[in-house]
Structure 1
Amino acid sequence: MMRVLLVDDEPPALERLDAFFRNIPDVAVVGTAANGIEATAAIAALSPDLVMLDIQMPELSGLAVAAALPFDRRPEIVFVTAFEHFAPDAFEVEAADYLLKPVRFDRLREAVQRARRRQAGRAAEHAPAAAPSPYDDALWVPTRTGQVRVPVDQIDRIEAARDYAMLHTPLRSYLYRSTMSALAERIDPQQLTRVHRSAFVRLSKVTEVQRDGRWLMNLVLADGAVVAVGPNYVRPVLDKLGR
């Protein structure tokens, strides 16, 4: 819900705005003010998300009110005035919009939408950064001419091959020098699940589960590959598969 403060020294203008806002969803008019000094006090007391601010008012102009607000805690400002020549000054204080009197409902609704977008953008800028993932997003595989980057999200399965690991993607396979234990520390288990001491599988690629006795199980992948599941991994794998 967007909380709105209306500021104008003309009662009919306040009444017009209030009536319009009753027809805009997800907004609430939380107060009104009749001059710049009242507006400054109301902004401090009510912490509105949006202020509809007349420019020409007694004692303190709307431009002066907006310029005095601390930038990091200021609401969105939409200026309302009968004069076009204030527009450059209005945008100098980074107003969201500038409406001419008499305000039209369609222009008011557009201004509110713009203020919402700006408010959402500022909230995103100040959101805490996500913690970096402890896992690799790709593996660099040596080649005769250098190295090739293999994104982890393109790997369907990994199988051990002595001192190497075979990385299988939909297009080709890569031989990568690493132990499975080392890979287990570098690969996000939410992407590739260890199903055997010698294998990792992307469970979203599993099309069939084959059971042979209580503790023997194979996974059939979309490309036809069959991967054995180690006895110690059966229950965790079934849980992840939702079975």
Structure 2
Amino acid sequence: MTQLKTIIVDDEPLALGLMKSKLKKFDSINIIAECKNGREAIAAILELEPDLVFLDIDMPKINGFDVIHKTQPELTPMVVFATAYEQYALDAFKVNAVDYILKPLDDELVARAIHRAEQRHQQHDKAQEKSNLISAIEAIRSHREHPKSLTAKDDKKIVVKDGDQITVLKQDDLKWVDAAGDYCCLHANGETHIKRTSLTELLEKLDPNNFKRVHRSTIINLNFISKVKSLPKGEFFVELGGQERVKVSRTYKTAIREFLELNPGKKDLTST
């Protein structure tokens, strides 16, 4: 079996570790470098000439698109963008034959991307690859120039209106959310705020690297996890900041298992 020399790029250590753990399951993938920023990615592509790069888009200073711009056409590997972008960007990728996987990472989409890379490898045209990538990037940028057509996912604040009072919550302060009918209860800074929205709609606005659904009606901010206790039947309790506790159902336990793989010290060693 031909192995694809692969580089993974993400500025979030948690996301980088998660991507690595998922890719290591595939015999056709040989991870030759892990890069924490765009500068490292450019240097690694130049030095190692990989076959495939899994590339995060949203990175500071030099983002994923900048990496493509700064890569020589004759060295351009097959690229799979890791993105939390909205549909307009996904359409641009599809039109220009550029592969992508959505955050939060899904096993099925990762497997799809690898399968496509395996099929494309023998006929891979590096110069054409960069042409396709640039076409997709320019299509996305043209949409950005008309923000009314977009739903910004990088908005870091949640607006809650209660009568004549408006509260603006920072996403970083939001500890967990639970749904109650047509409303969501937002728990932040020791207070609970009520917002008329569905849990699905709210989740689309939150940073997918930090916020995960752990129950049909509950979202948590992974950054607040202080301890995880395992329960019979594959369920968990997570302590958030040491003061609040949320139950994780078996259906959504994958997010917590992946969190524990990267943060083993967070698990209660006395748990069952």
Which fold has the larger relative contact order, with Cα–Cα distance below 8 Å and residues 6 or more apart in sequence?
2
TM-score (norm 1): 0.46
Normalized per residue, the structure richer in helix is 2
Which structure has the larger Rg?
A: 1
Length-normalised TM-score, structure 2: 0.42
